Amino acid sequence: MDLLSYTPAHEAFRMRLREFCNTRVTPFVDEWEKNHLVPRSVWQEMGRNGFLCTSVPREYGGMEGDFLYSVIALEEVARTNHYGLDAFLHSDIVTPYIQSYGSSDQKKKYLTGCVTGDIVTAIAMTEPGAGSDLSALASTAVEADGEVVINGSKTFISNAVSCDLVVVAAKDPDEGNPYKAISLYLVEDGTPGFKKGTAFKKLGLHSQDTADLYFTNCRIPVENRLGEKGSGFVKLMKKLQQERLLVALLAVVKADFMLQWTMDYLKNRGSGAPVIEQAAKFSLVETATEIKLGRTFIDKLIMEHMRGEDVAIQTSMAKYWCSDMANRSANTCLDICGDFGMTEKCPIVRTFRDIRAFPIFAGTNEIMKNIVAKQMGF
Ligand SMILES: Cc1cc2nc3c(=O)[nH]c(=O)nc-3n(C[C@H](O)[C@H](O)[C@H](O)COP(=O)(O)OP(=O)(O)OC[C@H]3O[C@@H](n4cnc5c(N)ncnc54)[C@H](O)[C@@H]3O)c2cc1C
């Protein structure tokens, strides 16, 4: 029995999105990979068709769907075997900050655009000197006379080139406690003093624009602060459960994609192809078993997350284990493909490159283990 119960409405949504991906995404992925960018028109098409920000309330143009719509949206886009259309980051990681913590005016101003794809979002925590340890943030936000002046720089920000709105974490330089010093601010593209870098040339995720962001005396109205001053660190921690759960899910979906592709390849190579040795069969069985285990764990966590339970510790376990598992699966599948697995014609070469980032972002796997070890009393 499947742990997750999808309704006919969920299934219809999946079919519509699959059809969209088949016609409007997959045929263009190679071009986006080459250009290191997904055109804005695709975000807008996604939005017009109701595939972005599915949890946003109806009053802001969303469909007010449950978390299973987010799961489906992630799964279907992931199956197109690219990572540029970072819709789950926009829909289910960044926009929820505005949904949960935004004032009524902020929600009115931004949420509708997030749903339509006219506003693409990013979240900027990481800095050249602050990755795993957010308390080391050096970007400052000084509030005075109804304005906030932000100074500092951010690095490795997903959607950095294409974003219209960034949730920025910055510190009050006068607050001695680093955890109480962080606040979150909404900064719009085009604000004087806010500059975007150019997209990095990365090992993988070629169609996704990851870049630096710079803030030099960047002035925004104080109304653009998300929630109370000094509440940023707690807000970031609260939202990490969903972020890590989605990355773990993504890892399992990618592993399954590689396994299915490899099995099809082996079965359809024709009679001249090398025989699949017993060892390769066993490797495939082991990979299939790991994927099943990962998926079962994730589905359980999805159910608990939907019930509003605190599963932060288990989500940390899932994030590290599933992202490592996906990388193990990639190695196995490429080994089995032999020399073909060294060529760009082999689709799982791209997956292999892309998933290398999964143990790093959303909190590194070492940090995930630190979180779990702490809960275990170490
Ligand atoms: C493709 C990509 C997209 C990203 N997108 C975003 C984004 O949209 N927004 C954003 O804010 N950031 C983003 N990041 C940044 C990401 O969150 C950081 O890379 C991550 O938090 C790790 O920080 P770091 O790279 O500075 O590594 P560091 O923190 O310097 O760590 C280096 C190594 O030391 C280990 N380490 C560090 N501290 C400990 C410890 N206490 N115990 C044990 N080991 C430790 C780490 O696990 C790692 O192996 C992205 C990164 C990548 C690669």
* pLDDT at 271 (0 to 100): 53
The model carries a pTM of 0.97
- pLDDT band for position 269 (50/70/90)? confident
In CATH terms, 8-118 corresponds, of 3.40.50.720, 1.20.210.10, 3.40.640.10, 1.10.540.10, to: 1.10.540.10
Write down the pLDDT at residue 276.
65
Q: Where in the chain is CATH 1.10.540.10?
A: 8-118
In eight-state DSSP terms, residue 90 is: I
User: 234-268+275-375 adopts what CATH topology?
Assistant: Butyryl-CoA Dehydrogenase, subunit A; domain 3 (1.20.140)
* pLDDT in the model for residue 141: 98
Written as six digits, the tokens of 54 are 């599915």
For residue range 78-95, list pLDDT tens digits in order. Answer: 999 999 888 999 999 999
Q: Say what the pLDDT of residue 270 is.
A: 60
* CATH 1.20.140.10 residue window(s) in the chain: 234-268+275-375
Is-catalytic flag, 243?
Answer: yes
Token pair listed for 108? 């009115």
Q: Which residue from 327, 360, 369, 371 has its CB within 8 A of the most atoms of ligand 1, so it is best to mutate?
A: 360
- As to burial, measured by CB atoms within 10 angstroms (0-12 exposed, 13-18 middle, 19+ buried), residue 312 is middle
Q: How many CB atoms lie within 10 A of CB 347?
A: 15
Task: Kindly state the average pLDDT of the residues 17-46.
Answer: 96
Ligand 1 pocket residues where CB is under 6 Å:
122-126, 131-132, 156-158, 205, 210, 357, 360-361, 364, 366-367, 370
For domain 123-229, give the fold. Answer: Butyryl-CoA Dehydrogenase, subunit A; domain 2 (2.40.110)
Report the separation in Å between the CA atom of 93 and the middle of ligand 1, taken as the mean of its atom positions: 17
Beta strands in 189-241 (DSSP E): 194-196, 210-221, 225-226
How many whole angstroms separate alpha carbon 347 and alpha carbon 255? 13
Q: For the chain, how long is the longest CA-to-CA vector?
A: 77
Give pLDDT tens digits for 126-174. 999 999 999 999 999 999 999 999 999 999 999 999 999 999 999 999 9
Angle at 208 between CA 205 and CA 212, to 5 degrees: 110
